[in-house]
Structure 1
Amino acid sequence: MGHGGNVIDELMTDHREVEQFFARIEALPPGAEDRKLYADQVTMELVRHSVAEEAYLYPAVRKHLPNGDALADREIEDHSKVERIMKDLEGCGADDPRFDALITSLMTEVRAHLTDEEGTLFPGLRASCPPEALDDLGDKVRMAKKAAPTRPHPSTPSTPPANKLLAPGIGMVDRMRDALTGRGKSV
């Protein structure tokens, strides 16, 4: 969840962790109980990651990249699609008939999003932002992930300042719920 380095290194490491969760899910047969465990774990990681990107990465994209507003808006729309899928997935067990279609949809959407960020946004930011700014953004993203929600909340704001104000409180409630229910933890 906190890896160190500049914002691009931090988020790329998150991307690799998400892919590892997807690989674990894909390696298991349909209906296997651990598919739900890994789906919950990847959801927790994706929600924290998305909240941090929306609070800090996308404002930097708006500021530093040509056509940054349109790029950031498209990325936030991608997050909205993914969040709705995760919300639907949250209510499914691994044996639910909808689970396989939802997890496949989630993996498809997220992989397309990661490819877009890694191919467009990250190279653009690396070229247009001073290294100190990227390091500062990395620190802010790490802090945001620590306080971020762990469950999808599709109706919450996706842009500053409202998202920065609401995320820590929602995150605290989510972490308490996770602790009480054991969500995302192996038995």
Structure 2
Amino acid sequence: MGHGRNVIEELTADHREAESLFDRIQELLADDAQRRELADEVTMELVRHSVAEEQYLYPAVREHVEGGAELADKEIEDHAHVEQLLKDLEGAQPGQPAFEENMTRLVQAVTDHVQDEEGRLFPLLEDACSAEQLNELGEKVRQAKKTAPTRPHPSAPNTPPANKLLAPGAGMVDRARDLLTGRGH
């Protein structure tokens, strides 16, 4: 993911990409091994997306949007729930009940989160920020996704400054593991 737009366009494009991956997973037979590969791909994309939002989007919401702290806290809670679902999904194989149950929960949680962000948070941010601020945030989000972890780390910090300090190191370790295992390729 990396779309070269303002933060709202960037994150909305990420949402469509995740939805597309979910659709591809659902189109395959329950025990098709490709479902595991696609689950890994959606995990990698969602983790990078979430880390970037936590590092840059939610601090901007806190700063610029009236009632932004409560909005950001709710979105971070959503992320924690999704990250735990991703962790639970990580060990499951297609055709196993755990894979199906966790995938169903994940799709619903992400769908709810996307609807909330696109229907409420993004319009509020767009009203509160200038085009230049939104473009700058978009660039920061794109850069954060390049170094973000690719695996779920539910116990990792999800607010600045700790997340900005630890995420790049975890991302480097995750990408090394991915390279060694062939995950995501």
TM-score normalised by structure 2 residue count? 0.98
What is the root-mean-square deviation of aligned Cα atoms in Å?
A: 0.7
Q: Does 1:183 align with 2:183?
A: yes
Query: How is 1:1-187 mapped onto 2 (pairs within 5 angstroms)?
Result: 1-185=1-185
Q: Once the two structures are superposed, what CA deviation does each residue of 1:143-172 show, in whole Å capped at 9, x if it has no partner?
A: 000000000000000000000000000000
What letter corresponds to residue 166 of structure 1 in structure 2?
L
What letter corresponds to residue 137 of structure 2 in structure 1?
L
Distance 2:85 2:100 in 1: 12
Q: Once the two structures are superposed, what CA deviation does each residue of 1:2-56 show, in whole Å capped at 9, x if it has no partner?
A: 1101100100110010010000011112111111111100000000000000000
Distance 1:95 1:116 in 2: 31
Q: Once the two structures are superposed, what CA deviation does each residue of 1:47-74 show, in whole Å capped at 9, x if it has no partner?
A: 0000000000000111111110110000
Unaligned runs of 5+ in 2: none
Q: 1:96: Cα distance to partner?
A: 2.4
- Please give the secondary structure, in 1, of the residue aligned with 2:151: coil
Q: 1:97: Cα distance to partner?
A: 2.3
Distance 2:54 2:120 in 1: 17
TM-score normalised by structure 1 residue count? 0.97
When structure 1 is superposed on structure 2, of 176-185 and 107-116 the one drifting more is: 176-185
Q: 1:184: Cα distance to partner?
A: 2.0
4+ runs of 1 displaced by more than 2 Å?
none
Q: Percent identity?
A: 62
Distance 1:33 1:128 in 2: 45
Q: Once the two structures are superposed, what CA deviation does each residue of 1:124-144 show, in whole Å capped at 9, x if it has no partner?
A: 111110110000000100000
Number of positions where the alignment pairs a residue of Structure 1 with one of Structure 2? 185
Distance 1:160 1:107 in 2: 27
- Please give the secondary structure, in 2, of the residue aligned with 1:98: helix
